[in-house]
Amino acid sequence: MSSKENTFKNLIGKNGRALGSLGYFIILMLVFLIGAPEVMMRPNLHQSVFVMLPVIMFMVIPLVFLVTAGEIDLSFASTFGLSAYIFALLLKAGLDPLLCILIGILSGAVVGILMGCLVVYGRLSSLVASLGALFFIRGFLFVASDSKSISFMEISDHWIYDVLVGKLFGVPMQVYWAALFTIFSYYLYRKHVFGIHIHHVGDNPDSAAQMGINVNWVRISAFMYVGLGAALAGIFSCLINFTWWPTQGFGYLLLALAAVFIGGTPTWGGVGTIVGAVFGVGVIAYMEVGVVAMGMSGVWRQFFNGLIIILAILGHRFHGGRVR
Amino acid sequence: MSAIIELKNVSKSFGGITALKKASIKVDVGEVVGLIGDNGAGKSTLIKTLVGVHAPDDGQIIIRGNEVKNWNASKAREAGIETVFQDRALCPQQSIVWNIFMGKELKHRFGFIREKEQVREANKLIREIGFTSKLIDAESPVGNLSGGERQGVAIARAIYNNAELIVLDEPTTALSLIETQKVFDFVDNVKKSGRSVLFIGHNIYHVYDISDRFIVLDRGEVVHQLNKNEIEGPEALMKVMKDAVSKH
């Protein structure tokens, strides 16, 4: 075997999960292209997908950290709404929008830390604890807002609107911000001691503790990152829609989680891929419009969404076995 | 001779069960200490307390003459104590490099990893130790290695940081004869370099061969501390251990 072949094999071996996700994304796009060539060639369709795709990205990328750390969080879909609510309230109170955004993001990080502390110090299953938090926070939002939405059309006149969700070269600004966030997260995940400790804790928490890694802190900070991402997503969603509403973000719960797993991050912890998650988000974002574009009636949408998810996860079994 | 680490009257219990009762031991510079005792004697608890994995309920931990409070695994490693744990403390899905540098990564400013340097050092280390075949790439996952090779990674990690004391908790368990011999050669080399070893073994012949001094543990208590010249051979050591058990 030549060394070139070896390098190639190594490349496949180390990036199998990410390449797999890329594969599903390409297959999905091909199916849609063949099924509905005219619709899929329309730039409008892609533009509309790219308006909300970055919002999903802000949620999914931090979830890769948390799932790699061996935990799960469902509460992010409500943290999304809570941080956006805080942002909207402060904005309505007349605070500077930049300050509103910073406080909103901070609130998400704080909720994440609390969530992490609940799991770590309360010794709770993260699935169950975050399920409770999901409803608790959402319930609080309904009560606090009296189920009323808040709109803020005036934000479109502020410079921050153009910087965050305006357009540059015909592409929504949120796409650039999400790309920046993803690249930063990639380096944090693969090249920074924070990301590396997340891998160790998710792989074998006892070994990590024996080697002097502060396992509790690593777990809590992973929850914090998820909260921060959810807050970013919530605030961007508010800016895009000029509105906060009580159920905002709730619909992303299962789609965002599906994107993590379609993206090639397995449920058992210790391994994962940021690049794969990007394609996972791509699959999720196009799945819904594609199925409708192919002329299926809306009744079939969930059926095909489910089929796509199952096939993708089955596929990952073939190129990402677990080593023990 | 001065002690690298000293435990004074250290006690530890788990949910009402006392695993250590006022245990006092020390390890001096350049000596190989063998820790022996029957199953359940508290060897593992003593070791895990010594290396900071368990916090003691009571007693003092003294490092080079100074008492250290809030003792933990991170402080132990900073103090120059490295451990090869019985379970090897590896992360099977991570690369050999990441495992060798686990918890003590080579970092740039802001916490980013000096990746190339880590890979270079890891490759050098696994060659030096010679546990692994020459074909093994430091970036392949530990889960693909054999038991002996995994032990090699755990040992590589312990020696990389120029530890002054290396703790080996049953390091020959499940190893082949040749691999076991490699572990003994390794202990010899560490001793020659002037560093100390604390060796825990279930095989009394192994422990007798390589140790300068013995600590006998029984039901959470240190019952004997003997120099090698006070003991005639492994059989005599075995007798000491058996007598301790029957006296209790």
Q: d(Cα B172, Cα B56) in Å, to the nearest integer?
A: 27
Q: Which residue of B has its CA nearest to A211?
A: B103
Q: Which residue of B has its CA nearest to A202?
A: B91
Phi, psi of B199 (to 5 degrees): -115, 125
Flag whether pLDDT at A4 surpasses 60. Answer: no
Q: d(Cα A109, Cα A97) in Å, to the nearest integer?
A: 19
Using alpha carbons, select from A212, A284, A227 the residue that is nearest to residue A255. Answer: A284
Q: d(Cα B216, Cα A171) in Å, to the nearest integer?
A: 73
Flag whether pLDDT at B223 surpasses 70. Answer: yes
Q: Which residue of A has its CA nearest to B118?
A: A191
Mean local confidence (pLDDT), B63-90 = 91
User: Are the C-beta atoms of B7 and B17 separated by less than 8 Å?
Assistant: no
pLDDT of A51:
86
> Within an 8 Å CB–CB cutoff, is residue B53 touching chain A?
yes
Q: Map out the domains of chain A as residue ranges.
A: 51-282
Mean local confidence (pLDDT), B4-13 = 90
> Complex ipTM, two decimals?
0.89
> Within an 8 Å CB–CB cutoff, is residue B112 touching chain A?
yes
Token pair recorded at residue B229: 């010249």
Average pLDDT of chain A to the nearest whole number: 89
How close B228 gets to chain A, by Cα (Å)?
A: 31
Q: How many CB atoms lie within 10 A of CB B198?
A: 26
Please judge whether A192 and B91 are an interchain contact, meaning their C-beta atoms are less than 8 angstroms apart.
no
Q: Which residue of B has its CA nearest to A270?
A: B93
Q: Where in chain B is the domain with CATH 3.40.50.300?
A: 3-80+162-247
Residue B107 pairs in a beta bridge with B113
Percentage of residues in chain B having pLDDT higher than 90: 32
Nearest residue, CB atoms, B113 vs list A196, A204, A208:
A196
Please judge whether B73 and A200 are an interchain contact, meaning their C-beta atoms are less than 8 angstroms apart.
no
Q: Which long-range contacts (CB under 8 A, 24 or more apart) does A84-89 make?
A: A84/A231, A84/A234, A84/A235, A84/A237, A84/A238, A84/A244, A84/A248, A84/A249, A85/A141, A85/A144, A85/A145, A85/A150, A85/A244, A87/A234, A87/A235, A87/A238, A87/A244, A88/A150, A88/A152, A88/A238, A88/A244, A89/A150
Q: How far is CA A19 from the centre of its chain?
A: 19
Tell me the whole-structure pTM to 2 decimals: 0.90
Going by pLDDT thresholds of 50, 70 and 90, the confidence category of residue A266 is confident
Mean local confidence (pLDDT), A288-312 = 80
For helices A126-145 and A97-121, angle between their N-to-C axes, nearest 10 degrees = 140
Flag whether pLDDT at A319 surpasses 70. Answer: no
pLDDT of A41:
82
What is the amino acid identity at position B58?
D
Going by pLDDT thresholds of 50, 70 and 90, the confidence category of residue A222 is very high
pLDDT of A1:
39
**pLDDT tens digits for A72-95?**
999 999 999 999 999 999 998 988
Using alpha carbons, select from A245, A264, A242 the residue that is nearest to residue A312. Answer: A264
Q: d(Cα A198, Cα A71) in Å, to the nearest integer?
A: 10
Nearest residue, CB atoms, A192 vs list B93, B113, B137:
B113
- Max alpha carbon distance in chain B (Å)? 58
Token pair recorded at residue A119: 């799991």
Q: d(Cα B22, Cα B10) in Å, to the nearest integer?
A: 5
Most confident of A149-153, A233-237, B163-167, B239-243: A233-237
Flag whether pLDDT at A257 surpasses 80. Answer: yes
Q: d(Cα B211, Cα B228) in Å, to the nearest integer?
A: 7
Q: Which residue of B has its CA nearest to A271?
A: B93
The CATH number assigned to the domain with range B3-80+162-247 reads 3.40.50.300
Q: d(Cα A160, Cα B187) in Å, to the nearest integer?
A: 64
Residue B171 CB partners (closer than 8 Å, separation 6+): B84, B151, B155, B183, B199, B201
Q: H helices then E strands: how many in chain A?
A: 14, 4
**pLDDT tens digits for B87-144?**
889 999 999 999 999 998 899 988 999 999 999 998 888 887 776 666 678 888 898 8
Most confident of A109-118, B5-14, B16-25: A109-118
How close B119 gets to chain A, by Cα (Å)?
A: 13
pLDDT of A6:
58
Please judge whether A208 and B92 are an interchain contact, meaning their C-beta atoms are less than 8 angstroms apart.
no
Please judge whether A191 and B112 are an interchain contact, meaning their C-beta atoms are less than 8 angstroms apart.
yes
Q: How far is CA A312 from the centre of its chain?
A: 18
Residues of chain B found within 8 Å of residue A270, distances taken between Cβ atoms:
91, 93-94
Query: Which 3 state secondary structure label does DSSP give B25?
Result: strand
pLDDT of B172:
82
Average pLDDT of chain B to the nearest whole number: 87
Q: d(Cα A205, Cα A133) in Å, to the nearest integer?
A: 25
| CA dihedral for A292, A293, A296, A302, sign (positive or negative) | negative
Residue B3 pairs in a beta bridge with B28
Mean local confidence (pLDDT), A255-278 = 91
**pLDDT tens digits for B200-213?**
988 888 888 888 99
Q: d(Cα B108, Cα B83) in Å, to the nearest integer?
A: 25
Going by pLDDT thresholds of 50, 70 and 90, the confidence category of residue A320 is low
User: Are the C-beta atoms of A178 and A283 separated by less than 8 Å?
Assistant: no
Place of tokens 């974002």: A285
Residues of chain B found within 8 Å of residue A204, distances taken between Cβ atoms:
89-92
